[in-house]
Amino acid sequence: MAITYTMIHSHLPATINDSLNRVSVIRAHQEVFVGPPSSNRATNRLAESLSNLLHLHIENPPRARTTNVSWSLVSQQYNHSGPPMSPKEIISDRWREIHGSNDWDNLLDPLYPWLRREILKYGEFAQATYDAFDFDPFSEYCGSCRFNRDNFFGKLGIDKNGYKVCKYIYAMSHIEMPKWLKRSHLVDTWSKDSNWMGFVAVSDDEETHRIGRRDIVVAWRGTVAPLEWYEDFQRKLEPIGHGDAKVEHGFQSIYTSKNEQTRYNKTSASEQVMNEVMKLVKFYREKGEEVSLTITGHSLGGALALLNAYEAADTIPGLPISVISFGAPRVGNIAFRDELHQMGVKILRMVVNQDFVPRMPGVVFNESLQMFDEITGTLDWIYTHVGAELKLDVRSSPYLKRGFNLLGFHSQETYLHLVDDARRDIALVNKACDMLVDELRIPHCWYQLENKGLVRNAHGRWVKPERDPEDIPSPVGESHVQAHAFEQYKFV
């Protein structure tokens, strides 16, 4: 009989669950990072007792409280060489289904392994926008990307995903946006007007063969500082398009703002990304290839992904478009949702039950009011989510703390950990938060530059280093940049 952690959790008393969690976590941690379990008799007896007690309670187990992501027993998850990787199968015959042609029916509960791998791929792209962002307030490049396009994935250790970055996206930094999604303490030292906001990438030949089409990816960055919650949960909706669709004013401002007097935002984020996507689609269609567009992002990035998908669907006929988002807030009203559906955009949202951000804006006035539609009318003034939802739960992982942790609940690494059944390196969860149980002895918020970015100069002084010219992303010399980009598209 296959035993899942959620079955155990739903059937045992809380005290037994806590004990089993901690013993299992410690034993797994020792096997992966230290070696075989200790021969300590007391520890072994406790583990054996818990195991015997466990089997007494699984004769007729009830349905688990969280069934979307099932967890195997910790002892079955790991081996001495480290955590296994999710399968990376050839999906060329089923890519449309995996990207939502049937709205992910029968693929989410339980989570289909091939879909899991694709979600993780795009989730890592969303995480990369954080890892590559220079948010050091003492850096003269604060607000930029730390790497150039050529070595972007390599520097982040995800070059095996099979994509090449073609274009960086910049957005205005001095615009109105919700305070609960704003970065607060950072100083605009690199550019007083603009921030690096994400990238456009395209699949190489090998990945294109595996997934069955040339995939264009747009990854949008979310926030980089602790969330600032505020009392005004209901934001202003403004029209978009030609119908009744409306979207949140702050998100739309980030996506469309520009200023001719700036260096990096003479064009808006919208214009930058759409110009690049249209060039790529035209380039590969003329070569006779099937092309798709997948847009991803976490938090604010998930909101921008929806606006990007709406514009792309309205601009490029017949292009398969899907959105894979993580912890994204609501963006628009019911008409916005309906128009995206009519355009054929497929949207899959990952939502952690304990995460507060997906409940905003419109904590009170949201899609739940649709039941009163006959009384209230069209409800073009309320917010609603879009697409299919994959529910995740912090309580389903024995590695995560149970306490209240807004930052940890919302962290992209927490999302990836829950999606991947703990096969992803669990230490990554604590990169920017404190979500892992103390028994694992993983420091919280450990991800940073070596020596916090300081290096010794020729005189032995510790200083902030100058970046190499190629590591300072800049739209200057646009014709050269575009020529270089199209050379990369060929993937010889």
Q: Please give the positions annotated as active site.
A: 299, 355, 410
Kind and range of the H or E run holding 349: strand 346-352
Q: How far apart are CA 218 and CA 62, in angstroms?
A: 42
Question: Which residues have CB under 8 Å from 361's CB, separation 6+?
Answer: 178, 233, 234, 235, 248, 329, 330, 383
3-state secondary structure of 285: helix
Question: Which residues have CB under 8 Å from 344's CB, separation 6+?
Answer: 313, 320, 321
Burial state string for 425-459 with b = 16 or more CB within 10 A and e = fewer than 16: ebbbbbbbbbbbbeebebeeeeeeeeeeeeeeeee
Question: Which residues have CB under 8 Å from 294's CB, separation 6+?
Answer: 99, 122, 215, 216, 217, 218, 321, 322, 323, 324
Q: What is the DSSP letter of 439?
A: G
Give the E-state strand segments of 256-313 in sequence order. 291-298
3-state secondary structure of 472: coil
**What is the rounded end-to-end Cα distance, in angstroms, of the chain?**
50
Kind and range of the H or E run holding 172: strand 163-172
357 within 8 A of 329, measured Cβ to Cβ: yes
Q: How far is CA 249 from the centre of its chain?
A: 23
